[in-house]
């Protein structure tokens, strides 16, 4: 009996939105492909993470994956990846996040199996890094983009536009969420949710990228509003305003239950890929107020399905406006955008098509 094609997903940043993305994608494709995930562990990686995936999916830990640049561990991870590749003999390789993208494109030739790479937010856009370091990241991406049989598959239109500055071997597929499972959770919690006073939430690691300083300034400007940060991180001490609650890392269903019980989703990020938490908030018909960066403004069209802001003043002005009005049309537009353009079914169909085309060429 002819075996299914094998896909090897490689991911160092195995947490947050990338984790959710891989859960949805791998589970959606595992009937048609044998799927292997070579992963690195992070603090954000959920406990007992395998329970989120279909039992058909197989896992291999890359023990030497590190988030930061480390000549020693990067070399060891490179050697690990080569061993994993030889053992699995995949028909398709899909690299996710910058670290996996660079090491994977160096470790794999691309001759036996086509290579796809999804940045999920380029490292050279990270404003937390010095300009010299960002330039180094850009040069690394530029060099790796010349690799034969490699296609960069961006997760949003904005990321795709950045990719085209590096290479023409590029396509994009918008991130999507599993609206059926989310709707089931919404239905389950309709009678259980206890309504609080007007509240605003965000989701993610409390890190420089998510700009907790601005989040804190907004909260200080609105002392009578309840702010919730679902997540944790190294910069939690930046969140000093007394009206902010930090939940710590939660199970997905618990995090979504808090989100359902809130009125507004806010994202103050300095850079993004295409945030899964934003798509989930839109589907839940929350008013979404986001910073004006790639990923956010690819999805949110100002005053049509949410609001795009640049400053503390603009965020607070919009929040005060939202408190006074229901804005049903904006919330409905956001919901419909996700149903039509950003759901898992559409995303999986597009990935399946691209993978099949690569196998036919092979």
Angle at the Cα of 289 from the Cα atoms of 283 and 295, rounded to 5 degrees = 75
- What pTM value is reported for the model? 0.83
Asked whether 302 and 243 are in contact (CB, 8 A), the reply is no
- Full set of structural domains in the chain with CATH: 6-176+343-361 (3.40.50.2000), 179-341 (3.40.50.2000)
DSSP code at position 213:
H
| Phi, psi (rounded to 5 degrees) for 118 | -115, 115
For position 3, what pLDDT does the model report? 84
Per-10-residue mean pLDDT, the chain, length 362:
89 89 95 97 88 96 89 94 96 95 91 93 76 85 86 92 93 93 86 73 94 98 96 95 96 90 95 90 97 93 96 96 90 96 94 95 75
First to last CA, the chain: 20
Asked whether 232 and 205 are in contact (CB, 8 A), the reply is yes
Query: Strand (E) positions, 30-85?
Result: 34-39, 58-61
d(CA 275, CA 155): 10
pLDDT digits over 83-107, tens only? 999 999 999 999 999 899 999 999 9
Q: Which residue has the tokens 């503390």?
A: 312
Which of these, 179, 209, 229, 189, lies nearest to 97 by C-alpha position? 209
For position 125, what pLDDT does the model report? 77
For position 169, what pLDDT does the model report? 94
For position 194, what pLDDT does the model report? 58
The tokens of 359 are what? 């196998």
For position 214, what pLDDT does the model report? 98
d(CA 303, CA 29): 36
């Amino acid at each position: 009996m002819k075996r299914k094609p094998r896909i090897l997903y490689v991911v160092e940043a195995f947490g947050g939105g990338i984790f959710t993305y891989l859960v949805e994608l791998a589970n959606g494709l595992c009937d048609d492909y044998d799927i292997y995930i070579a992963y690195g562990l992070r603090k954000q990686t959920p406990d007992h993470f395998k329970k989120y995936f279909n039992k058909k999916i197989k896992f291999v830990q890359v023990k030497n994956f590190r988030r930061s640049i480390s000549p020693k561990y990067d070399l060891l991870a490179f050697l690990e990846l080569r061993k994993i590749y030889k053992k699995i003999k995949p028909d398709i390789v899909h690299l996710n996040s910058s670290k996996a993208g660079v090491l994977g494109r160096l470790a794999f030739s691309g001759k036996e199996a086509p290579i796809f790479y999804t940045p999920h937010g380029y490292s050279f856009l990270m404003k937390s890094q010095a300009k010299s370091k960002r330039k180094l990241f850009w040069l690394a991406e530029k060099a790796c983009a010349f690799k034969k049989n490699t296609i960069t598959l961006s997760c949003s239109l904005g990321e795709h536009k950045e990719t085209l500055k590096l290479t023409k071997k590029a396509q994009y597929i918008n991130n999507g969420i599993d609206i059926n499972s989310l709707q089931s959770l919404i239905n389950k919690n309709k009678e259980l949710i206890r309504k609080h006073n007007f509240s605003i939430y965000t989701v993610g690691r409390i890190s420089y990228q998510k700009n907790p300083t601005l989040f804190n300034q907004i909260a200080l400007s609105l002392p009578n509003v309840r702010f919730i940060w679902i997540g944790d991180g190294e910069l939690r001490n930046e969140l000093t305003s007394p009206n902010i609650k930090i939940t710590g890392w939660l199970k997905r269903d618990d995090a979504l239950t808090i989100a359902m019980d809130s009125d507004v989703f806010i994202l103050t990020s300095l850079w993004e890929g295409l945030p899964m938490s934003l798509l989930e908030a839109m589907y839940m018909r929350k008013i979404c107020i986001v910073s004006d960066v790639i990923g956010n403004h690819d999805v949110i069209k100002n005053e049509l399905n949410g609001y795009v802001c640049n400053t503390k003043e603009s965020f607070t002005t919009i929040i005060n406006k939202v408190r006074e009005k229901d804005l049903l049309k904006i919330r409905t537009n956001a919901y419909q955008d996700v149903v039509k353009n950003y759901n898992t079914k559409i995303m999986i169909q597009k990935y399946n098509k691209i993978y099949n085309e690569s196998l036919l060429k092979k």
